[in-house]
Chain A
Amino acid sequence: MDMLLEVENLKKSFGGVQAVDDLSFVVQEGSITGLIGPNGSGKTTCFNLISGLLRPDAGSIRFAGREITSLRPSWIARLGIGRSFQIPAPFTRMTVLENVMVGAFSRTRSLGEASRLALEVLEFTGLKEKRDELAANLTTADRKRLEVARALSTGPRLLLLDEVIAGLNPTEVLGAMELIRAIRARGITVFMVEHVMEAVLPLCEWVIVLNFGRKIAEDTPDRIVRNPAVIEAYLGERFRARS
Chain B
Amino acid sequence: MAVPLFVSSFWLRIATEVLMWAGLAQSWNIIGGYTGYLSFGHGAFFGIGAYTTAILMVHAGWPFWPTLPVGAVLSVLCAATIGIPTLRLRGAYFAIATWAFGEAVRQVATVLEITGGAFGMQLPPFLNLPFFYEAILIATILTYLLAYLLLERSMFGYKLRAIRENEIAAETAGVDTVVTKIEAFALSAIPAAIFGGLYAYLITYIHPDSVLGPAITDLMVVMVLFGGVGTLWGPLVGATAIQLVNRLLWFLRGESTLYLVYAGVAICLVVLFMPDGLMGLVERRRVLFRPRENLKALLRQFKL
- The reply to whether A and B meet directly (CB within 8 Å) is yes
A interface, CB within 8 angstroms of B: 51, 53, 72-75, 77-78, 83, 85, 89-94, 98-99, 101-103, 105-106, 109, 111, 114, 137, 139, 150-151, 153-154
Q: Is B169 an interface residue (CB 8 A)?
A: yes
* Set B174, B177, B297, B300: member contacting A154, Cβ < 8 A: B174
In the bound complex, do residue A150 and residue B300 qualify as a contact, i.e. CB atoms below 8 Å apart?
Answer: no
Q: Is B172 an interface residue (CB 8 A)?
A: yes
**What are the residues of chain B within 8 A of A99 when measuring CB–CB?**
162
Number of CB contacts from chain A to chain B under 8 A? 81
In the bound complex, do residue B165 and residue A83 qualify as a contact, i.e. CB atoms below 8 Å apart?
Answer: no
User: What's the least CB distance linking A159 to chain B, in Å?
Assistant: 12
Given the known inter-chain contacts A74-B174, A74-B175, A78-B174, please indicate yes or no for A105 contacting B165, CB distance below 8 A.
Answer: no
In the bound complex, do residue B155 and residue A72 qualify as a contact, i.e. CB atoms below 8 Å apart?
Answer: no
Nearest 5 pairs of A and B residues by beta carbon: A106-B174, A91-B165, A77-B174, A89-B169, A103-B173
Taken together as a complex, chains A and B put the C-alpha atoms of A47 and B26 apart, in Å, by 39
Taken together as a complex, chains A and B put the C-alpha atoms of A228 and B52 apart, in Å, by 75
Q: Is B42 an interface residue (CB 8 A)?
A: no
**What are the residues of chain A within 8 A of B176 when measuring CB–CB?**
72, 74-75
A-B contact pairs, 20 of them (CB 8 A): A51-B172, A53-B171, A72-B176, A73-B168, A73-B172, A74-B171, A74-B172, A74-B177, A77-B171, A77-B172, A77-B174, A90-B165, A91-B165, A91-B169, A92-B165, A94-B165, A102-B162, A109-B155, A139-B300, A139-B303
In the bound complex, do residue A72 and residue B173 qualify as a contact, i.e. CB atoms below 8 Å apart?
Answer: no
Chain B residue at minimal CB-CB distance from A74 = B176
In the bound complex, do residue B170 and residue A91 qualify as a contact, i.e. CB atoms below 8 Å apart?
Answer: yes
Chain A residue at minimal CB-CB distance from B176 = A74
Q: Is B181 an interface residue (CB 8 A)?
A: no
**What are the residues of chain B within 8 A of A114 when measuring CB–CB?**
155
**What are the residues of chain A within 8 A of B153 when measuring CB–CB?**
111
Given the known inter-chain contacts A102-B173, A139-B300, A150-B173, please indicate yes or no for A53 contacting B161, CB distance below 8 A.
Answer: no
Q: Give 1 or 0 for each of B129-145: 1 = CB within 8 Å of chain A CB.
A: 00000000000000000
**What are the residues of chain A within 8 A of B155 when measuring CB–CB?**
105, 109, 111, 114
User: What's the least CB distance linking B217 to chain A, in Å?
Assistant: 25
In the bound complex, do residue B168 and residue A153 qualify as a contact, i.e. CB atoms below 8 Å apart?
Answer: no
Q: Is B207 an interface residue (CB 8 A)?
A: no
What is the total number of residues of chain B having a CB less than 8 Å from a CB of chain A?
A: 23
Chain A residue at minimal CB-CB distance from B297 = A137
Other A-B pairs, 20, CB within 8 Å; known A53-B172, A92-B166: A53-B168, A73-B172, A75-B176, A77-B172, A83-B172, A91-B161, A91-B169, A92-B165, A101-B158, A102-B158, A102-B162, A103-B174, A105-B158, A105-B159, A106-B174, A111-B153, A114-B155, A139-B300, A151-B173, A153-B173
Taken together as a complex, chains A and B put the C-alpha atoms of A12 and B256 apart, in Å, by 58
In the bound complex, do residue B173 and residue A93 qualify as a contact, i.e. CB atoms below 8 Å apart?
Answer: no
Chain B residue at minimal CB-CB distance from A133 = B293
Taken together as a complex, chains A and B put the C-alpha atoms of A94 and B94 apart, in Å, by 24
Q: Give 1 or 0 for each of B280-304: 1 = CB within 8 Å of chain A CB.
A: 0000000000000000010010010
Chain A residue at minimal CB-CB distance from B230 = A93
Chain A residue at minimal CB-CB distance from B171 = A73
**What are the residues of chain A within 8 A of B174 when measuring CB–CB?**
74, 77-78, 103, 105-106, 154
Taken together as a complex, chains A and B put the C-alpha atoms of A87 and B175 apart, in Å, by 20
Q: Is B154 an interface residue (CB 8 A)?
A: yes
**What are the residues of chain B within 8 A of A98 when measuring CB–CB?**
158, 161
Chain A residue at minimal CB-CB distance from B175 = A74
**What are the residues of chain B within 8 A of A106 when measuring CB–CB?**
173-175
In the bound complex, do residue B169 and residue A85 qualify as a contact, i.e. CB atoms below 8 Å apart?
Answer: yes
Chain B residue at minimal CB-CB distance from A102 = B162
Taken together as a complex, chains A and B put the C-alpha atoms of A103 and B159 apart, in Å, by 9
Q: Which of A74, A75, A151 has the most CB of B within 10 A?
A: A74
User: What's the least CB distance linking B194 to chain A, in Å?
Assistant: 27
In the bound complex, do residue B161 and residue A94 qualify as a contact, i.e. CB atoms below 8 Å apart?
Answer: yes
* Set A53, A75, A139, A154: member contacting B173, Cβ < 8 A: A154
In the bound complex, do residue A102 and residue B154 qualify as a contact, i.e. CB atoms below 8 Å apart?
Answer: no
- Taking CB atoms and an 8 Å cut-off, the chain B residues in 165-205 that contact chain A are 165-166, 168-178
Taken together as a complex, chains A and B put the C-alpha atoms of A150 and B162 apart, in Å, by 12
Taken together as a complex, chains A and B put the C-alpha atoms of A91 and B176 apart, in Å, by 16
**What are the residues of chain A within 8 A of B159 when measuring CB–CB?**
102, 105
**What are the residues of chain B within 8 A of A93 when measuring CB–CB?**
161, 165
User: What's the least CB distance linking A91 to chain B, in Å?
Assistant: 4
Taken together as a complex, chains A and B put the C-alpha atoms of A154 and B170 apart, in Å, by 11
Q: Which of A102, A111, A114, A153 has the most CB of B within 10 A?
A: A102
Chain A residue at minimal CB-CB distance from B169 = A89
Q: Which of B161, B173, B175, B300 has the most CB of A within 10 A?
A: B173
Q: Which of A73, A98, A114 has the most CB of B within 10 A?
A: A73
